[in-house]
Amino acid sequence: MDYKIAVVKGDGIGPEVVDGAIDILSYIGEKFNHKFIYNEVLAGGSAYDVYGQPLPRETIDACKIADAVLLGAVGGTKWDSLPSDKRPERAILGLRKELGLYANIRPGILFNALSESSPLKSEVLGDGFDICVVRELTGGIYFGERGIKENDLGKSAYDIEEYSEMEVRRIAKTAFEFAMKRNKKVTSVDKSNVLESSRLWRKVVEEVSKDYPEVELNHLYVDNAAMQVIRDPKQFDIILTSNLFGDILSDEISVLTGSIGMLPSASLGQGGKGLFEPIHGSAPDIAGQGKANPIATILSVAMMLRNSFNLGQEASCIEAAVNRALDEGYRTCDIARNEENSISTKEMTKVIKSYI
């Protein structure tokens, strides 16, 4: 089958890590007899330099007709002084909105070979953890009504957290569907002891759970969840939560894995269409030096294969090759104990390819 992929390499290390991921994907195509057709388009700072805006219409259109979007990272000091609507990071928010990507999937996996990089003690880590955060991405306080009021006492500012039943239902369904393919446990995180929006969230999640009797559901308040992921991360399978809580919890969990250059993410919409990207940024401090870790982007491609193209075997093949490269001791600069023993982006890609 043919799969059309819009490729947004972006800025900084974006092009370096995306090249590695495409190399791996094309090799999977050869091995398993699939045709991946790439259409490279600009977004972020590189798009601003050419079009005067971070997300040109051409890019939106190309992403809309593609089967999936692969993105490196955007941003950099060169564009830091631009007004907020021209900043490279706006491109990602714009793409999520244009493509209707309401579900953000962020795996937080502790790779056994890297457990010494985690800030948690080994007795807490045990034999590792594998958490998947399913975060609502297009609703809640980030998209609610906002403003500044002025009265006799001076200025006051507000941002409204609002969720409709429809928004909660569709993200809850995504979480339960993911749970069915994993360890069948969903922890829904809210603040229903205080917030009305959380009380509706909890009610709808419970309704959706009735369609998934095999999946165990529990609820945590967000303050308790923030403690529990540190106290005992192994207890979690899927964490289902809102835009704001998910933003914070997924970053907290990624730190526990000890490796920002390792973690992929997916933003999914209706019908499995998705945008796949590493969680890290454009790392301007190491851009152009050929030493960025390509693994987060390579694992993003594995997520693309599994979630958008339903190619689970091919995805597992990539994940196993990454694990083997780590088990064999290959390290890029960000995960090496001694930087002198680290290998380049291209070398890491080559090693992973050789294990596929």
Active site residues: 142, 191, 223, 247, 251
Contacts with ligand NAD: how many residues (CB under 6 A)? 24
Site for ligand NAD contains 284 (CB under 6 A): yes
Site for ligand NAD contains 283 (CB under 6 A): yes
**Minimal distance in Å, beta carbon 283 to ligand NAD?**
4
Residue type, 138: T
For ligand NAD, the binding residues in 324-353 under the rule CB under 6 A are 332-334
Site for ligand NAD contains 286 (CB under 6 A): yes
Q: Could you say which of 15, 140, 264, 281 contacts ligand NAD (CB under 6 A)? A: 281
Site for ligand NAD contains 89 (CB under 6 A): yes
What is the distance between the terminal CA atoms of the chain, rounded to a whole angstrom?
A: 20
Q: Could you say which of 258, 261, 264, 274 contacts ligand NAD (CB under 6 A)? A: 261
Q: Could you say which of 2, 123, 214, 285 contacts ligand NAD (CB under 6 A)? A: 285
What proportions of the chain, in percent to the nearest 5, are helix, strand and coil?
45, 20, 30
Q: Could you say which of 15, 75, 139, 246 contacts ligand NAD (CB under 6 A)? A: 75
Q: Could you say which of 292, 299, 301, 325 contacts ligand NAD (CB under 6 A)? A: 292
- How is the beta sheet containing 103-109 ordered, strand by strand? 35-40, 2-10, 68-73, 274-278, 264-268, 103-109, 130-136, 238-241, 185-190, 216-221
**Spatial separation of the C-alpha atoms in residues 266 and 268, rounded to whole Å:** 6
Question: Do the beta carbons of residue 141 and residue 187 sit within 8 Å?
Answer: no
CA nearest 12: which of 258, 257, 261? 261
For ligand NAD, the binding residues in 45-74 under the rule CB under 6 A are 73-74
**Spatial separation of the C-alpha atoms in residues 311 and 93, rounded to whole Å:** 27
Give whichever of 89 and 252 is closer to ligand NAD, judged by the CB atom: 89
